[in-house]
Structures are given as C-alpha cells and as structure tokens.
Amino acid sequence: FEEKKIAVVGEKTSLTLSDLGIEADFVPPEFVAESLIENFPVSGYGLRVFLPRVQTGGRNFIADEFGILVRVL
C-alpha cells in the first residue's frame, strides 16, 4: 500500500486527530486554506486527495488550486 499523508488546515482539526492518536504530517503556519496551498511541501497537482468539507459545502479553493476533481459524497 502507498503511504498516506495527512494535512490539516485548522488547529482544531489537528488537535482532534491528535486526541485520536493520529498526527498530521503537515499543518500550515496560518489556519486558512490559502496558507495550506502556499506552504504545502510538494506540488498538489495530480495527488489523490480526500477533502472532507462542512455540510454547507465550503468553498473549492483547495481543490481548484491543486487541480483536482471534487466528487461530492
């Protein structure tokens, strides 16, 4: 299996994962999507990404910047 990496945008998500025994591999210096994109350690283009979103839908910034197709589940 391919090794999975976890990136989070917000501090609350990072802390929640940590409480579950899961450490994020990448947390941007500012807790906004733009900071994740600007500071991401590799090109996101072509990556397979699981992108959970809020029930209200959120925005497509991360998906658009990484050039990924979003399937709504």
Nearest CA among 20, 9, 66, 63 for reference residue 43: 66
First to last CA, the chain: 24
Kindly state the tokens that stand for 25: 């591999």
In the chain, which ranges are continuous DSSP H helix? 11-19, 33-39, 61-66
Tens of each residue's pLDDT in the chain, 73 residues: 468 888 888 888 899 999 999 999 999 999 888 888 899 888 777 777 777 777 776 677 887 887 777 666 5
